[in-house]
Amino acid sequence: MPVVSLSRRLRASFAIAAVSTLLWACGGGGAVRFAAILPLSGGFEIYGEAIRRGVDLALRDLQAREDYPYEVAVTVVDSQGDPERAAELLAEQYGDGAIAAIGGVTTPEALRMVAVADRNDRILLSPSATSPELTGISKNFYRLLPTDQREGTTMGNFAARKLGLGSVVILTKQDAYARGNREVFAGEFERNGGSVLEVIEYPPGAADFSGFIERVLTLSPDGVYIAAYAEDVGRMLTLLRDASFEGSLLTTSAFASPTAIERVGNAAEGVFLTQAVFETETEDPVVRKFVRDYQAAYGELPDLYAAHGYDSVMVLADAILELDRGPVAADMWKGIRKLKDYAGVTGTIQFDERGDVQKFPRVYVIEQGNLVDYEREVTRRRQELLDRLHRLQEQQRQQSQSNNG
């Protein structure tokens, strides 16, 4: 089984080793193994690959910590985005000695994997699954991204009150992830006076979206909210732009990937989306180091998913330090619960009693291929305008004094 393992003797080379036996000593100094079940191929690899990179960097940083008492390895296996395969691989990894696992990346994967975590009484930490159906589903399940409840509420409120949209059409995939987003968004949008003209659902695996786009154009809404994963979002954005749709386009954090945005190109410009706050330009030394190391390793800035991959490893590793008996699989949930105001690269991490992280998403807009915090940008531009007005007033005052003099 392939393993991403940065042992002290291999950390300089980022070697991929094979782990056949897990050995750890409760007193410290032993080896601890986690597993990461990620979609490294198939339609969701855009998320899995970014998360894997974050995992790699976290392992390197752990091995560089002189105060960390354990050797850590993470076995990374490819779920191919298939929930059944993800569940089977998770069972294998627990059986082979992984004391906790990172996954599922998508909501369908996570929903299927939770039962396996419960049967083995071991932790499953999702870096990115967001469906409300996962809230409180198990004492063994935790997640690092805010729920769709918070994403949908944020965007529904924004669409009605900030953008002033009177009507929307919702384009949505028939799965648990999309269902959670669209239901919350629709409820909040209508609560704030907006009207959902129609919810257009398409089945998984749909290849032709042209009919759905024609229906949107017929309804002529002020905006379209797309609840789907990045590949489908990109296809629909392109079709809507090609059809000269002039309304606002809104979507979810599933599209918050530089790779996804780059693939879509100009069709992504001006699109609004929600995501948890992750800023690559910051004074926070923890984040600055992560961004610098990621750029050095991969030649590009990290995205939201890489950052959550990094934090997934660090949360599991530091949860062990909260345990009286060391890395005992059955105790891992206690360690995670003991983490208070944990400083991750994705911000302060605090889990509630239902396993949800206590974070709030913000609205971003895509400008020149970059994600821009909408409220921050509005504030910045407003201040620029005020500064120009003040300078103009000062110039007029000085001119008036000169004329009167």
Instruction: Using the 3D structure, point to which of 275, 295, 325 is the last residue of a domain.
Output: 275
Q: Which residue has the tokens 């005020």?
A: 386
How far the first Cα of the chain sits from its last, in Å, is 86
Q: At what angle do helices 45-64 and 230-242 cross, to 10 degrees?
A: 130
Cα–Cα dist 181/170, whole Å: 10
Residues 46, 133 share a domain = yes
Q: What is the pLDDT of residue 13?
A: 29
Instruction: Using the 3D structure, point to which of 318, 342, 359 is the last residue of a domain.
Output: 359
Residue 184 lies in a domain: yes
Collect the ranges in the chain with pLDDT lower than 70: 1-30, 378, 380-387, 389-390, 392, 394, 400, 404-405
Q: Which residues pair with 72 in a beta bridge?
A: 32
Cα–Cα dist 323/50, whole Å: 30
The CA–CA distances, whole Å, from 197 to 166, 282, 298, 348, 399 equal 10, 41, 44, 39, 56
Instruction: Using the 3D structure, point to which of 244, 275, 306 is the last residue of a domain.
Output: 275
Residues 240, 132 share a domain = no
Please indicate, yes or no, whether the overall pTM of this predicted structure exceeds 0.75. yes
Q: What is the pLDDT of residue 16?
A: 28
Domain hosting residue 223, numbered range? 149-275
Residue 129 lies in a domain: yes
Over the stretch 137-192, which tens digit does the pLDDT of each residue have?
999 999 999 998 999 999 999 999 999 999 999 999 998 888 888 999 999 999 99
Residues 283, 140 share a domain = yes
Q: What is the pLDDT of residue 180?
A: 87
Residue positions counted in the chain: 405
Cα–Cα dist 94/79, whole Å: 15
Q: Is the dihedral of CA 43, 44, 46, 50 positive or negative?
A: negative
* CB contact at 8 A, 80 and 56: no
Task: Give the number of other CB atoms < 10 A from CB of residue 318.
Answer: 18
Residues 109, 64 share a domain = yes
Q: What is the pLDDT of residue 389?
A: 65
